[in-house]
Structure 1
């Protein structure tokens, strides 16, 4: 039986930062093109005041993020999310000083394909998956023709390994053209904060880093208010790229436990 899925890809942080993340998210196309998700998509395209920028999370768009994340969380049983993180890959950073273009090409020819292949490969023999892939546009992606190359790579893998999926279309999309990409951006921002788990200190009850504290409170509010969001998080397949260039799967729930524990201590310190 044929099934249609829509897939989104984005990244957070550049390769030379402490933590860089690449994320793929897939969900049934019928869910994406109908109901509340479709309504949010139309709002994103038509309302110039509707924005999702988790990097600078402010009170004005707090509700926008909450609405978008809570809506996608309702489909946690059908949503698939793969995230790969780069953790302190100094050996690449050192080489990059001399061979920047070669290293970038290696990164963007290998890692996105592994992120996305993991989303599509595990469907059973009686399911034929037709996928449409949307990637947030950037100059770097255009330089590497990421949309064209990733489609070719994934379909080559599908033929070679007799997998039951086919990427029909891969396209770069500008900011604010697809709510799916904006949701991936928000999820990446939240996961980055959970993994890094940076401390917040207070003076006279006020946080020294207001933006960081606002993000941490937002994440905890989503966890406490929306059980489906917590389930969405723990369902993420999360991998870390080691210094030996191999991917190791980690339990993201462990990071969540550390994050929530530190938050409770910080909340007590604020009072």
Structure 2
């Protein structure tokens, strides 16, 4: 059997842009990954889109069908996603105590983090399973020796725990052509967005991202799938044990906030609809003074008010 792992990171430790750094892994049997890739390509083709999928680039909801359909499909597949979270302030304090800079500490973390990050995904692999790890191609990763470290540490972990799977290679891969790397990038971006409560900012981009996440979560049983497939581990620096934290606590707070926001917005929208019946979404957008980048968000409100189904236009 062949198994594939995909690794990504966000807000790198020595280039911090927030309180935490994030490391993500996405894994499944090679046959499952191939099926997912093939079906996602079919989704892209049906929408006549060839652009990459990255959560940080999702700033206009004209792409909502692509993101919604792809992520809704992926969440309903047999995949596992682990995300390891590092408290940057605690990491900085550790670096000071060790008298090393953050880049050196980041190198050291690459030795230890893969064990925790990949363990929950690989611990049930059968003896003799061939494993490949795919990482975004980067000169920086090459200089840090990441590809070699991942392979060596995972094989050492397999031998020490008598798991007997073997990592044949950690392979640099261009994320522009790798749908699995785009998937882990996007799902990790969503988790970071929820954890850092970015949905509470007033920017249009935040509202657009929030609407995508909300509509994805309320579709079918996606909340349960999201909680089941995504596992979070957190390192605070002052604890010997790595703590596992439930993603549900971030989902619940987000849903409460987003529901209250939507009720207020739909209240305004209903008043406009009563005064101006029989208009289409584009005409209502001008009256409610939404930017064009949020037209599909308004369409979702319109669909929920008129049909009771928020996602009928994007499903």
Report the TM-score when normalising by structure 1. Answer: 0.84
Between the aligned partners of 2:91 and 2:81, the Cα distance in structure 1 is: 26
Q: 1:70 aligns with which of 69, 72, 92?
A: 72
- Name the SS of the counterpart of 2:70 in structure 1: helix
Q: CA deviation at 1:48?
A: 8.0
Q: Is the 8 A contact 1:52 1:186 kept in 2?
A: yes
Partner of 2:210: 216
The structure carrying a bigger strand percent of its residues is 1
Q: CA deviation at 1:39?
A: 4.2
Partner of 1:13: 11
Query: Measured at CA, do residues 25 and 106 of structure 1 come closer, stay the same or move farther in structure 2, by a change above 3 Å?
Result: same
Gaps of 5+ in 2: 269-315
Gaps of 5+ in 1: 202-207
Matches for 1:28-177 after TM superposition, within 5 Å: 28-34=29-35, 36-40=36-40, 49-57=50-58, 58-75=60-77, 78-87=78-87, 89-94=88-93, 95=95, 99-123=101-125, 128-177=128-177
Whether 1:234 aligns to 2:193 is no
RMSD: 2.5
Report the TM-score when normalising by structure 2. Answer: 0.73
Structure number with the bigger relative contact order (C-alpha 8 A, sep ≥ 6) is 1
Whether 1:255 aligns to 2:255 is no
Between the aligned partners of 1:64 and 1:234, the Cα distance in structure 2 is: 22
Between the aligned partners of 1:260 and 1:222, the Cα distance in structure 2 is: 11
Query: Measured at CA, do residues 164 and 212 of structure 1 come closer, stay the same or move farther in structure 2, by a change above 3 Å?
Result: same
Q: Is the 8 A contact 1:135 1:172 kept in 2?
A: yes
Partner of 2:308: none
The structure with the larger Rg is 2
